[in-house]
Structure 1
Amino acid sequence: MWVRGSAGSGLRGFGGVRCVALKGGPVRLTGISLLASALLLAGAAPAAALDRPAEPSAIVRTDLGPVRGQVQQDHRLFQGIPYAQPPTGDLRWRPPQPARSWTGTYDATFPRSQCAQIAPPYGGETTYGEDCLYLNVTTPSRTRGRHALPVMVWVHGGSNLTGSGSAYNAAKLAVDGDVVVVTVNYRLGPLGWLAHPGLENGADRRYQAGNYGLLDQQAALRWVQRNARAFGGDPRNVTLFGESAGAADSCANLVSPSASGLFHKVIPQSFSCATPVRTEDSAEGDAVTVAQAVGCDKGSPVENAACLRAVPVKTLLETFDAKGMSAGPVAGGDRVLPLQPVQAIEKGRFNRVPVMHGNTLDEMRLFVSLIYPQPITAAQYEGIVRATYGDKADAVLAQYPARDYPDPRIALATIQTDAGGALSACLHQDAFQMLKRAGVPVYAYQFADRTAPPLIDVPGFDEGAEHATELTFLFPGLLGELDPRQQRLSDAMVGYWTSFAWHGKPKARHTPHWPRFRSSGDVLSLGLGADGIHRTDTTKPSKCSFWNSL
């Protein structure tokens, strides 16, 4: 997803967006460092799926050996469990290899390293470690019955460049929803998504280069298949869910033949499954540019690959960043992602599972506020629109006149939220319709609490329900604290999300009915108050008919 307007070089941080340096300030960070570096300790829970002991144990036996976690009053937490070998040395840019067993009891009471990344401008930590393929498991301490629990596997956002699974406190989902939650690290940036053709040699010819992060996620899902029962989970009832880049990856896994059977429901949050992913040609061209910049373009394909594997991580990250490269799945000619998601779904060649899919009401206010933390004038707004839309600008300005908005930046963000990009309401409607035509159950939503804690608090700017604001309602404390009305919305959302994991239908006690998507008006708006949760037609306020006419 690319920010439209005069942001030429773009913004980096979520959903494939690239960042420019902030113009002006100050900007107050409201907890976003949690997305990349803060390690929230939440607990986890039950023992084996059958014949659970009366008291929860801190030790669980996995297929590779026993692990010791933390037992809290209502949940248990197991952190930093390896699901694959460290992708270092000769294993850099290769599919993840099975983790090795251990002797004794593995200490799973603290998280391990996040994957190598440069901290984004909104906060976080720069790290260079490649040994990062770990996951975390949270379960309720006691279950309400003797049945195995649904498993929810979380893929974090961050443009496939930043973030970590351990930043997300899954205790509320696990305890209130009676589910097992697994949060996953996967390779990021050039280490997870570099598509150099020299990496396709020997046995690696079976794989399109550039999908290593996606393969990591699938390796974690296979770990879940082998170990879910040990934590009280049901390997036959796994829900894959993710936000922003994590949603993009979830959409890719939805259509990936190599992910077949690894999950049974999917929840992409704030990234439309109708969005094209990188093509083989463009991804490989970008990778060649990186290789040239680090001096690995002077030999045979095998020699260039060996050269790249010897480049220090710091150099790779800084070069990738300086060249403005994007990271994410590559549609190529192998079994990982042979087709673009849209093509695969239209052809019926995807994993046919129920889908819960949606975005936030004001997605692009985040990115506009990062590019323009200082106010812009109505004349500047008009110039941005004209530079973006050319001979269509008059029509766009007639639909979005600056006088109709309290701040020209809000007008600009509204245009970008409505139309075109991967986060947009209209492209999400395209995805809902496409999936409905494919015959799978679809449940559509739009998060609409404009008072939610923002990702970044820009003075003098109304962030509204910007990108990522729904996350705090699922993972408490991520971006800030919730007031009592927001807590009630959080309870409803956790109920919807986890009931979907249980039964494939979002249906929770004391909450309005969530209809299956059959027409554009079957989107559930998630807002505050007695009437805050209701059906809505997002095509109308987002002017999708107008945008389609262009």
Structure 2
Amino acid sequence: MHPGIKLLCALAVLATLPVCGTGASAAPSGPVVRTADGPVRGVAGDGYRTFLGLPYAAPPVGELRWRPPRPVQRWTAVREATAKQADCAQNGLTFDGKAAPSGAEDCLYLNVTAPEPSSVRRPVLVFLHGGSFQNGTASYYDAQRLATQGGLVVVTLNYRLGVFGYYGLPGLSGSGTFGLQDQQAALRWVRRNAAAFGGDPANVTLAGQSSGGEAVCAQLTSPPARGLFDKAVLQSGSCRTSWPDQLFLPDIEAGSQFNPRSVVEDAGATLAASEKFGCGTGPRAAECMRGKDAYELLKATPGTGAQAFITPAYDTAVLPRHPADALAAGRAFRVPVLAGSTLDEHRSFTGIHELSNGPITAEDYARLLTAAFGPDAGRVQATYPASGYDSPGLAWAAVATDRIWACPMLETERQLAARMPVHGYEFAERDGPVFVPGYPFGAAHGSELPYLFDMAGLTEQAQPALAARMIASWARFAATGNPRAAGQEPWPPVRASDAGPAVRVFAAGRTGTVDAAADHHCGFWATVPR
């Protein structure tokens, strides 16, 4: 999920929805598992076990703020793992500094949902939540069906966000990459502990949605992540995601989800030297900033630009190059990849904008295109005429979907396919769960999530047969690297030479593949300067 999203938009991408209940209550007789750090007691469900709030790194507080994750202090008595821990400290979802910050710095915990014990080691799926690297939490994603129907051991995790995850200063080791380092620490925890939960530590899939998908793509190019996972799933987030002026939302400038270290460190030095914090720019600035109140740091870093510290930094040891450049140069780990988007990605954002601010008019549409594309605005409008859609707002959503999401994802798939097996998909169910009433969201950003995870108020609206088909595909991919489940029609891999690779379509009552590149005008977008 990307910058500039208002509170209701966060609802649209599932950022404020609580996870469904685990289906069982904690009891002293719950299942006990011995991890490498100590024994833990979880909760028994119907055909699965859940362990909540397991620490995978030491609390990054005090002197450990803005340092690489450190090992957990081990324990000997059984630790209760029956309740979620605090979300990572994050700004309010209005992104304007008016909503109170929430969460805590002591947040490096993960949850494990596993099938009942078996003599067979299960594939492991590690899922990274979205939230623009600024908000979100693992507790939104209840993985009981992935465990019981898919036979997977599922790990969801919290990682540092915003100013705590991506702050930088000249001379600060790890500038702009602490959240990515947390993800790597969690993956190392999984390698050490998967077997204790019935998982196969040699068969780990790293998956993520939105900024979580972008994080997965980044990890594919990160030298310290080598050997930490065996497959990757990118859902609605790629290394190539970017946007021109005012296309994401009218108040959002051109940008990308990654920034060079110099930009991050310049913003960090400005914040440290500001009148509010008074830490100067010398070698003691980091020490001074570590002494500042966490919520004061959050309140001082709202918004969407570099000053909000929501962009992982490259030109670093964690990301030597922009992930898109690394991908183009063939600097990605050679593992099987499952990648895709939703048919109407950007309706999550344009829809909430219209619900909050009134409908986009034809004049608004023309003005927004001019701001985004300058001399090419006329060509864009000819390709996406307002008269060809039910409203100018839906035309705007189609432009943003194709330019920001669909075509960059398909290009990512082709680049990866030059060196590794890749299967593509498009989630196209327009009659699924309703995020916010009153707008035709269709298959919007995040709309596939209730089909994979149990999400209160949404999964109940999801078509069960489609959900079962998706879970079977994700589980088969995690097990084998090929998402074609038993009884499903052929699913051809993406070929790097294909201008329009065939991708599997997921929608109720539909099967087979679609030429997503043609449907999203990717040939046209290749002619528009980025």
Q: Structure 2 length normalisation: TM-score?
A: 0.89
Match of 2:486 in 1: 509
Matches within 5 A, 1:228-377: 228-275=194-241, 277-293=258-274, 295-296=276-277, 299-322=280-303, 324=305, 325-334=308-317, 336-373=318-355, 374-377=358-361
Match of 1:134 in 2: 109
Give aligned-pair identity as a percent.
40
Q: Residue 161 of structure 1 contacts residue 327 of structure 1 at CA under 8 Å; is this kept in 2?
A: yes
Q: Is 2:42 aligned against 1:42?
A: no
Structure 2 counterpart of 1:522, from 502, 507, 517 = 502
Q: Deviations over 1:323-372 (max 9, x none)?
A: 742513211242x1112223323333322111111111111111112222
Alignment CA distance shift 1:68-1:154 (3 Å): same
In structure 2, what residue type is equivalent to 1:415? V
Q: Distance in 1 between matches of 2:282 and 2:338?
A: 42
Alignment CA distance shift 1:454-1:230 (3 Å): same
Name the stretch that deviates more: 100-109 or 518-527: 518-527
Mark the runs of 5 or more structure 2 residues left unpaired by the alignment.
242-255
Q: Distance in 2 between matches of 1:33 and 1:545?
A: 33
Q: Residue 78 of structure 1 contacts residue 138 of structure 1 at CA under 8 Å; is this kept in 2?
A: yes
Mark the runs of 5 or more structure 1 residues left unpaired by the alignment.
1-13, 45-55
Q: Distance in 1 between matches of 2:110 and 2:7?
A: 33
Match of 1:227 in 2: 193
Name the stretch that deviates more: 488-497 or 325-334: 325-334
Q: Residue 445 of structure 1 contacts residue 526 of structure 1 at CA under 8 Å; is this kept in 2?
A: yes
Match of 1:442 in 2: 422
Secondary structure at the residue paired with 1:152? strand
Q: Distance in 2 between matches of 1:216 and 1:164?
A: 14
State the aligned residue count. 500
Structure 2 counterpart of 1:70, from 43, 59, 79 = 43
Match of 1:431 in 2: 412
Alignment CA distance shift 1:501-1:509 (3 Å): same
Q: Residue 348 of structure 2 contacts residue 444 of structure 2 at CA under 8 Å; is this kept in 1?
A: yes
Q: Distance in 2 between matches of 1:506 and 1:394?
A: 41
In structure 2, what residue type is equivalent to 1:132? C
Secondary structure at the residue paired with 1:102? coil
The offset of 1:224, in angstroms, is 0.6
Name the stretch that deviates more: 395-404 or 227-236: 395-404
Matches within 5 A, 1:426-505: 426-437=407-418, 439-455=419-435, 457-459=436-438, 461-478=439-456, 480-483=458-461, 486-505=463-482
RMSD: 2.4
In structure 1, what residue type is equivalent to 2:224? S
Q: Residue 524 of structure 1 contacts residue 534 of structure 1 at CA under 8 Å; is this kept in 2?
A: yes
Matches within 5 A, 1:401-420: 401-419=385-403
Alignment CA distance shift 1:231-1:463 (3 Å): same
The offset of 1:464, in angstroms, is 0.8
Structure 1 counterpart of 2:156, from 168, 172, 183 = 183
Alignment CA distance shift 1:67-1:43 (3 Å): farther
Q: Distance in 2 between matches of 1:292 and 1:414?
A: 43
Matches within 5 A, 1:9-20: 14=1, 16-19=2-5
Q: Residue 87 of structure 2 contacts residue 103 of structure 2 at CA under 8 Å; is this kept in 1?
A: no
Q: Residue 34 of structure 1 contacts residue 478 of structure 1 at CA under 8 Å; is this kept in 2?
A: no
In structure 1, what residue type is equivalent to 2:408? L
Secondary structure at the residue paired with 1:320? coil
Q: Distance in 1 between matches of 2:7 and 2:121?
A: 49
Match of 1:79 in 2: 52
Q: Distance in 2 between matches of 1:20 and 1:483?
A: 24
Q: Residue 248 of structure 1 contacts residue 268 of structure 1 at CA under 8 Å; is this kept in 2?
A: yes
The offset of 1:293, in angstroms, is 3.5
Q: Is 2:85 aligned against 1:112?
A: yes
Q: Distance in 2 between matches of 1:272 and 1:32?
A: 19
Q: Distance in 2 between matches of 1:297 and 1:506?
A: 54
Q: Distance in 2 between matches of 1:250 and 1:127?
A: 25
Match of 2:122 in 1: 149
Q: Residue 428 of structure 2 contacts residue 443 of structure 2 at CA under 8 Å; is this kept in 1?
A: yes
Q: Distance in 1 between matches of 2:283 and 2:434?
A: 47
The offset of 1:294, in angstroms, is 5.7
Secondary structure at the residue paired with 2:325? helix
Secondary structure at the residue paired with 1:187? coil
Match of 1:535 in 2: 513
In structure 2, what residue type is equivalent to 1:136? N
Alignment CA distance shift 1:450-1:39 (3 Å): closer
Q: Residue 101 of structure 2 contacts residue 298 of structure 2 at CA under 8 Å; is this kept in 1?
A: no
In structure 1, what residue type is equivalent to 2:236? S
Alignment CA distance shift 1:320-1:355 (3 Å): same
The offset of 1:281, in angstroms, is 1.9
Name the stretch that deviates more: 286-295 or 355-364: 286-295
Q: Residue 68 of structure 1 contacts residue 106 of structure 1 at CA under 8 Å; is this kept in 2?
A: yes
Q: Distance in 2 between matches of 1:357 and 1:398?
A: 30
Alignment CA distance shift 1:524-1:98 (3 Å): same
Q: Residue 69 of structure 1 contacts residue 109 of structure 1 at CA under 8 Å; is this kept in 2?
A: yes
Q: Distance in 1 between matches of 2:231 and 2:136?
A: 23
Q: Residue 252 of structure 1 contacts residue 329 of structure 1 at CA under 8 Å; is this kept in 2?
A: no
Q: Structure 1 length normalisation: TM-score?
A: 0.86
Alignment CA distance shift 1:454-1:247 (3 Å): farther
The offset of 1:482, in angstroms, is 4.2
